[in-house]
Amino acid sequence: MNKLILNFKSKDSKKIKNPKNFLGGKGANLSEMGRIGLPVPPGFTISTKVCELFYKDKKKLNSQIINTIKKELKVIEKEVGKKFGDLKNPLLLSVRSGARVSMPGMMDTILNLGLNDNTVIALANKTSNKRFAKDSYRRFIQMYGNVVMGVEGYLFEELIENYKLTKGVLLDTDLDENDWEGLINDFKKVVKDKAKKDFPQNVYDQLLGAISAVFLSWESNRAKVYRKLNQIPSEWGTAVNVQSMVFGNMGDDCATGVVFTRNPSDGVNEVYGEYLINAQGEDVVAGTRTPQYITKKARKDAKAKEASMEESMPKVFKQLDKILKVLEKHYKDMQDVEFTVESKKLWMLQTRSGKRTSKSAVRIAVDMVKEKLISKKEAVMRIDPASLDTLLHPTLDEKSSVNIIASGLPASPGAASGKVVFSSEEAERLNDMMQDTILVRVETSPEDIHGMHAAKGILTARGGMTSHAAVVARGMGRPCVSGSSEIDINYEAKLFKTSFTEVKEGDIITIDGSTGRIILGEVPTVKPEISGDFSKLMSWADSFRKLKVRTNSETPLDTKTARDFGAEGIGLCRTEHMFFDEERILSVREMILSKTVEDRNKALAKLLPHQRKDFVEIFKIMNGLPVTVRLLDPPLHEFLPKTEKEINDVATVVGLPLKEIESRINELHEQNPMLGHRGCRLGISFPEIYEMQCRAIFEALSELKIKKIKSAFPEIMIPLVSTEAEIRIMKDLVVRVAKEVQKDKKVKLDFLVGTMIELPRAAIKANDIAKHAEFFSFGTNDLTQTTFGLSRDDSGKFLNDYIENKIFSIDPFISIDDGVGDLVEIAVEKGRKQNKKIKLGICGEHGGDPKSIHFCANVGLDYVSCSPYRVPVARLAAAQAELSKRN
């Protein structure tokens, strides 16, 4: 087992397999910098394992751990030649949290720990700077009082403000050591009053209190919320870094700063950052003083006057610049570094992989390959597939004139136009009818997720950049403008008002999720310009991946988009989506309402030319590539008229009395439509429907063949199979129709017949089903529903309870669940054993989720299929999955 607590310079850290998991991100980097000889203030990391023990031991640090901490303190004391709590030369410490990933919402840092009524005097004497010592002490009481002891921060601030008022000064810098001395006493009183105990004078109590506070903050509400939004498992826990203090605020030969080794917004290879002379780190962030530039060039570019670090501290700057190069070489990645200069001595406080925009990430990765810093594989592994979304979404055509009616936060990139709807149900209803919508809500909740899926864009009146709407929309790649306080929504009246206009349900608006603009009417969008760097990176990815990437699409537009994004076929063409067109829906309804096969055939004959035409178009676009066509899947009643008007319309056209139509609609009602008369069950009951669909496919193929136009290769997919007999009977039907068409048109057609695996029984009995199926496509949406016995439509009501109770770490409809995965594995194994040549793919929404794509690669599928905009994401994730396998 690893040591639970590790000195930064310990060689043991090299042996740790996943240092970030064990030491946290900050700890791992400090330890690494220490080991490679960079000037890091001495210290040690208390590992995440201790966090686990802390919670096991009922939120206490056990005596063994306390002893080890004390032992490690001795090591620091020796290194820096100071003693913790010493009355002559006291060691001061910083205590910082450090989880695997940086996590807002958790306790961050406590500085100046080790000061008390006595050591503060020692510090004053040692530094000959009373004001600095007192100031440090009051800062410490303030931080510790707030973060560890729970005293609200404004109480301290108020005391300072009142004091300044009384004294008639404006700035903190106007206060001297005596002023601070008085405030220190006031601060201690506030602590005693609010926390019901004295501010600790024992420095060890201070230290253990701070360490416990870091651990406790892991389970703070804010941290929990953040974890939930960012899908961070609570088991990870946090590490704690204890480090000797260095001071950037001991005079004008001191400074503190933050620097990136490259430009994080566009990726240009240049030092980028800010610093402040005579300041502590928090001052840079706090915004009370304007930080200065690091480089001369940056200062000049910004036309700033205050000297850059390069100019004011040229020696130290050079040392820093060198260290930055060392760090980039060492980490082979752009670094985000914190440093402090104490009396001209440079100390590295932290380094970590720098956050960057997607654009910058791609450029840096590609540049680093050019610079031979990293390999192509590493470049591919570097990019978070989910981040590509922002690069891929359409933007507004800036040549168009726009009528901006309000604005909000640019919560999720991309632009979209559509009819305003105020409920998820309406969004889904219109989506089913192939109409674009913008879902407008005061705020969204998990119950809206499917409406958000159905809508082209989301607009909310409340909520920030990390509101539910924002987070979910980004995940889905839907444009979103959130928190637009300029709009006033009235659900009852189905409208929203801005200061000067009124928008009703059904009106068309456009939102620009990249800028936050809300625009009346439709605005043309332009496809994202895909940079050369991006294309290069994707081509590298393609060279590494084995999983093919297809798309789920049934319209020519989507199909074209997907091909442009690199789709290698269609993995799911949902034929029922072709039924909702206004022209067709009446024939569809006529078909459903038919009571005899003859009547049904008449209605089907009207639909045949439409379907054939759709297929001709799609087969043309996907020439040379496979297209999986799924025969009719949803329960028939989904197609039925719902409003009174619709029912009347159908009655008129079909020529049946209203009453009969209503009674037929009732007849078709189902208690649990998800488990009802749908999928191939329709094909068994009404073979004529599937016959018409197959005929449309084969006639489309024949048409292209006869015209000598290159066509796609069709794979006909039978949905909702659970038994061998179903696929056998349905395959017979497909083959029979194919024969009829071939004979009729005198052409020879090639195709495959296969099935969705979307029911547990199909997975369990995959060996039987593979006797007939030439391919399996895992429909993991439905498979998740049935494996869990959990309706996606209804789970919103309690999904929150489930995430709060840690029953689900992630919504199983987003990333494939372990148990569902087991069933997929069983089916893969049994299917391949029965039929070596069987093609295996996935077409559930998991097909566009990077985590799930890794699973697909590991389990040995041949392809994944996802929505058009997720195709590049899938290509990259597939490459990463393959590369991870090799490691």
Of positions 319, 791, 834, 858, contacts its own copies by CB under 8 A: 791
Q: Is 819 in the site for its own copies (CB under 8 A)?
A: yes
Of positions 158, 172, 564, 794, contacts its own copies by CB under 8 A: 794
Of positions 289, 532, 725, 771, contacts its own copies by CB under 8 A: 725
Q: How is residue 673 written in tokens?
A: 């439509």
Active site residue 846: no
| Contact present, 349 and 281 (Cβ < 8 Å) | yes
Beta bridge pairs of residue 341: 255, 346
Q: Is 442 in the site for its own copies (CB under 8 A)?
A: no
Of positions 52, 520, 676, 858, contacts its own copies by CB under 8 A: 676
Of positions 525, 785, 835, 880, contacts its own copies by CB under 8 A: 785
Closest by Cα among 794, 840, 785 to 813: 785
Q: Is 225 in the site for its own copies (CB under 8 A)?
A: no
Q: Note the helical H segments in 198-313.
A: 203-217, 221-230, 281-286, 296-301, 309-312
Q: DSSP string covering 356-419, please?
A: --HHHHHHHHHHHHHTTSS-HHHHHHHS-GGGGHHHHS-EE-TTS--EEEEE-EEEE--EEEEE
Integer-rounded Cα Rg, in Å, for the chain is 32
Q: Is 723 in the site for its own copies (CB under 8 A)?
A: yes
Show the binding pattern over residues 743-772: x = contacts its own copies (CB under 8 A), - = does not.
Answer: ---------------xxxx--xx-------
Smallest distance, its own copies to C-beta of residue 710, A: 38
| Contact present, 335 and 364 (Cβ < 8 Å) | no
Of positions 526, 801, 884, 885, contacts its own copies by CB under 8 A: 801
3-state secondary structure of 94: strand
User: Considering beta carbons, is residue 401 or 805 the nearer one to its own copies?
Assistant: 805
Distance CA 155, CA 160 (A): 9
Q: Which stretch binds its own copies (CB under 8 A): 461-469, 586-594, 670-678, 841-849?
A: 670-678
Q: Give the binding-site size for its own copies (rule: CB under 8 A).
A: 48
Catalytic residue among 843, 846, 856, 866: 843
Which residue has 């601030």 as its token pair?
Answer: 157
User: Considering beta carbons, is residue 706 or 807 the nearer one to its own copies?
Assistant: 807
Catalytic residue among 450, 468, 577, 637: 468
User: Considering beta carbons, is residue 201 or 800 the nearer one to its own copies?
Assistant: 800
Active site residue 51: no
Q: Which stretch binds its own copies (CB under 8 A): 82-90, 235-243, 813-821, 854-862?
A: 813-821
Smallest distance, its own copies to C-beta of residue 810, A: 13
User: Considering beta carbons, is residue 123 or 592 the nearer one to its own copies?
Assistant: 592
Residue 646: CB partners within 8 Å, gap ≥ 6? none
Residue 437: CB partners within 8 Å, gap ≥ 6? 418, 419, 420, 421, 426, 427, 430, 431, 454, 455, 456
Q: Is 691 in the site for its own copies (CB under 8 A)?
A: no
Q: Is 558 in the site for its own copies (CB under 8 A)?
A: no
Q: Which stretch binds its own copies (CB under 8 A): 230-238, 382-390, 430-438, 818-826?
A: 818-826
Q: Is 70 in the site for its own copies (CB under 8 A)?
A: no
Question: What's the first-to-final CA gap in the chain, in angstroms?
Answer: 23
Smallest distance, its own copies to C-beta of residue 667, A: 8
Smallest distance, its own copies to C-beta of residue 452, A: 17
The strand order across the sheet containing 508-512 reads 403-407, 517-520, 508-512, 415-421, 437-441, 457-460, 480-482, 409-412
DSSP collapsed to 3 states, 759-794:
CHHHHHCHHHHCCCCCEEEECHHHHHHHHHCCCCCC
Q: Is 808 in the site for its own copies (CB under 8 A)?
A: yes
Which residue has 């105020």 as its token pair?
Answer: 422
Residues that bind its own copies in the complex, under the rule CB under 8 A? 670-677, 681, 684-685, 720, 722-723, 725-726, 729, 758-761, 764-765, 782, 785-791, 793-795, 797-798, 801-802, 805-808, 817-820, 822-823
Q: Which residues are catalytic?
A: 468, 843
